Amino acid sequence: MTSRFAVLGAGLMGRLMALSLKRLGYRVDLYDQGGPDGASSAAYAAAAMLSPLAESLDAEPLVVALGQASLRLWPEIIKTLPAPVFFQQEGTLVLWHPQDRDQAVQFDERLSRGQKTGMFDEPHRTLSAVEIETLEPHLGKRFSRALWLPREGQLDNRMLLKALYSGLLEAGVEIHWETAMTPAAVTADWVIDCRGLGSKADWIQIRGVRGEVLRVHSTEVTLTRPIRLLHPRYPLYIAPKPEGHYVVGATQIETEDTSPTSVRSALELLSALYSIHPAFGEARVLEMVSQCRPALPHHLPEIRWAGGRVIEINGLYRHGYLVAPAVLEAGLDLIKRLLDAPIGADWQNQQPWSPIYHLKEAA
């Protein structure tokens, strides 16, 4: 008989997983405590930058490897969806103000070290003022140097969530909105727990890391690719989305508070935007969003299976979009191995299986 799956959480990972399982021919129920727009998920707030090299400054090599693999997988996933999703792979421009020059030197050295160890599949480059202007004419010669990460990308998170929702409806997944669920309460052969921060009661190491982003609209400045601005406190970026929208983010604060954006954060994010180009002063602030990223202590994603019918996928932290396709593949591979295993097999002892090992295989 066809296995019946319950996927808990319809944020980024849950939507991808439910759709993939349904397309593989299983019966799938998807539960979320919120509604179809995904506003209760970290996925809704995110800038959806796909920047493995830029993230390598703070992230583990595994995240970089999963990110590079995922950059190749996203176009394949998007192609199968019934609605358009803005996806771009035009690189990232890393900029800094003169007072933050030392950070640029360190960043450059870190990237060069990564390059030597074969960690990156494409080298970064230093650009002159003329080269910066050629890439982004609206910046003119405001910056004398930049670092250029040519293969990085981004997508539009809200378009993706919508397109995945259409895909789920089209495929016939049974979706239960406004339904908070726990693995113990759900009846299914298998439970895939993708509740992000909502899994805290079952996975105590999960914590939330607050992030705030702004969405602005500008008719006066045109940037065509994401810009990272080196900053002493947290990585700041400006990600241009379709129709003159820009996502400016993101703060990173060790708290699970999801109350509205603070004045301090708004000031810092808007100052960063204004410092890139004063014409952003006339942009309109459309939205200020705050959400928590689901994180594990090692800041790596994990797929956890303890021998029962529940598989947990969590810890996507600030890299959910960056790594999701590769994590999805690893999760599907684990599910396949479990379904193919002979009944009663002492599965854990048959293989040197560990979540990280499993994800390393995917990368």
The residues that touch ligand FAD, with contacts defined as CB under 6 A, are 8-14, 31-34, 38, 40-43, 45-49, 180-181, 194-196, 198, 211, 213, 249-250, 291, 293-294, 314, 316-322
Closest to ligand FAD by CB, 114 or 183: 183
Cβ at position 173, least distance to ligand FAD in Å: 14
Q: What spatial distance separates the first Cα and last Cα of the chain, rounded to whole Å?
A: 33
Cβ at position 197, least distance to ligand FAD in Å: 6
CA atoms within 13 A on the CB side of 189: 11
Cβ at position 259, least distance to ligand FAD in Å: 14
d(CA 82, CA 74): 15
Closest to ligand FAD by CB, 114 or 315: 315
**What would the two tokens of residue 324 be?**
């999701």
Q: For residue 228, which phi and psi values (nearest 5 degrees)?
A: -105, 135
Cβ at position 283, least distance to ligand FAD in Å: 19
Closest to ligand FAD by CB, 129 or 356: 356
Closest to ligand FAD by CB, 132 or 250: 250
Cβ at position 144, least distance to ligand FAD in Å: 27
Of 241, 239, 246, whose CA–CA distance to 217 is shortest? 246
Closest to ligand FAD by CB, 157 or 218: 157
Closest to ligand FAD by CB, 227 or 350: 227
Ordered strands of the 207-217 beta sheet: 125-128, 145-149, 92-95, 227-229, 236-241, 245-249, 207-217, 284-295
The residue of the chain with the least Cβ separation from ligand FAD equals: 11
**What would the two tokens of residue 304 be?**
């956890």
The CA-atom distances, in angstroms, between 310 and each of 1, 13, 27, 136, 193 are 19, 15, 16, 48, 7
Cβ at position 295, least distance to ligand FAD in Å: 9
d(CA 19, CA 161): 12
Closest to ligand FAD by CB, 175 or 276: 175
Which residues are within 8 A (CB) of 225 and not within 5 positions of it... i.e. 6 or more apart? 88, 90, 91, 92, 93, 135, 136, 154, 240
Closest to ligand FAD by CB, 10 or 111: 10
Cβ at position 191, least distance to ligand FAD in Å: 11
Residues paired with residue 193 on neighbouring β-strands, in sequence order: 8, 312
d(CA 213, CA 321): 16
d(CA 128, CA 150): 15
Cβ at position 39, least distance to ligand FAD in Å: 8
